[in-house]
């Protein structure tokens, strides 16, 4: 009887976990790409959105790279990335392969508010996913993109990786900037003033985050931010940056990974790949 009670308790706990959004391209990226492209054609378009944030110009987050993705099916999807050097950027592994859908090519969009036109645009199919990328629970959701040399300008800049004492910082309580080309609400449609958006998010502990998503998805190499007030990353922001400022430099601490399958505005945490956990892996490839 005692064993049965324990099993029942564990089962109830598992059922209480918030489902995470899987199979990104078919559930988010493909429809989001179509929405953004239609908006560009229909209006004087200047980018896209992030939940609960504010509009920002192309130069405000010059490390943000838009990704227009061509899948092997010929369909188009979208993600974000972060410039690390003149020839390397980091994104989410699920932007390249989400468990069902495989990308064939990325078009990297530098220094632009618009995703399908403008800016410096470079194509690449040279992508290295983390060897332990798990498409079922989204653990180790990082990948490196290699591309032809792109020079720095006032609207194209890199972010640096954490180093020194920052490598031992879990950043809990820290406020950080997320930026992206994704939706600005769960129900957002086409707007005539769409633009790249950013938002301040507060990092929470993994213990608090695991109360929502469970310990299978929230592991040591996961970083989470609070969704209180209905703010956070949303569909289309995947792979994009979460940065802090340290020593006058933009420091990348998270790569946008997942949120609740029920939406972005319900007040639940957003999850990122914790860059301090992957710093050695990334450094070896840039």
Residue in 25, 61, 63, 94 annotated catalytic = 94
Interatomic CA distance for residues 212 and 16, integer angstroms: 8
Q: Is 199 left (phi over 0), alpha (psi -120 to 50) or beta?
A: beta
- Tell me if residue 198 is catalytic: no
Interatomic CA distance for residues 98 and 22, integer angstroms: 7
- Reference 263, options 208, 188, 210; nearest CA is 188
- Tell me if residue 94 is catalytic: yes
Taking the mean position of all CA atoms in its chain, how far away is CA 241?
6
Q: Is 95 strand, coil or helix?
A: helix
Location of structure tokens 């980018």 = 47
Interatomic CA distance for residues 43 and 267, integer angstroms: 31
Contact by Cβ (8 Å): 51, 184 = yes
Interatomic CA distance for residues 241 and 109, integer angstroms: 14
Residue in 141, 217, 237, 257 annotated catalytic = 141
Interatomic CA distance for residues 242 and 82, integer angstroms: 9
Contact by Cβ (8 Å): 46, 140 = no
Q: Is 187 strand, coil or helix?
A: coil
Residue in 77, 217, 221, 238 annotated catalytic = 238
Interatomic CA distance for residues 105 and 116, integer angstroms: 15
- Tell me if residue 141 is catalytic: yes
Radius of gyration in angstroms for the set of CA atoms belonging to the chain, rounded to a whole number: 18
Structure tokens at 148: 């032809």
Helix (H) or strand (E) holding 76: strand 76-83
Q: Any idea which residues carry the catalytic annotation? A: 94, 141, 238
């Amino acid at each position: 009887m005692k064993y049965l009670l324990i099993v029942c308790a564990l089962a109830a706990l598992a059922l209480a976990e918030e489902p995470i959004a899987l199979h990104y391209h078919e559930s988010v990226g493909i429809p989001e790409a179509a929405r953004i492209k239609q908006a560009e054609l229909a209006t004087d378009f200047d980018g896209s959105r992030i939940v609960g944030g504010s509009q920002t110009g192309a130069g405000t987050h010059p490390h943000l790279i838009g990704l227009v993705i061509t899948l092997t099916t010929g369909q188009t999807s979208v993600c974000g990335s972060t410039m690390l050097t003149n020839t390397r950027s980091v994104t989410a592994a699920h932007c390249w392969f989400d468990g069902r859908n495989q990308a064939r090519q990325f078009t990297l969009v530098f220094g632009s508010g618009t995703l399908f036109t403008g800016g410096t645009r470079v194509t690449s199919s040279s992508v290295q996913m983390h060897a332990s990328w798990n498409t079922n629970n989204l653990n180790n959701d990082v990948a490196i993109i290699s591309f032809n040399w792109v020079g720095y300008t006032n609207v194209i800049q890199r972010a640096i990786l954490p180093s020194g004492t920052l490598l031992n910082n879990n950043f809990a309580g820290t406020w950080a900037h997320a930026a992206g080309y994704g939706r600005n609400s769960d129900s957002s449609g086409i707007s005539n003033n769409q633009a790249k958006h950013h938002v301040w998010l507060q990092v929470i502990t993994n213990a608090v985050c695991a109360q929502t998503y469970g310990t299978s998805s929230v592991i040591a190499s996961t970083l989470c931010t609070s969704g209180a007030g209905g703010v956070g990353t949303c569909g289309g922001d995947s792979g994009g940056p979460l940065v802090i400022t340290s020593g006058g430099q933009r420091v990348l601490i998270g790569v946008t990974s997942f949120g609740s399958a029920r939406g972005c505005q319900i007040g639940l945490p957003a999850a990122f790949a914790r860059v301090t956990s992957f710093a050695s892996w990334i450094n070896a490839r840039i």
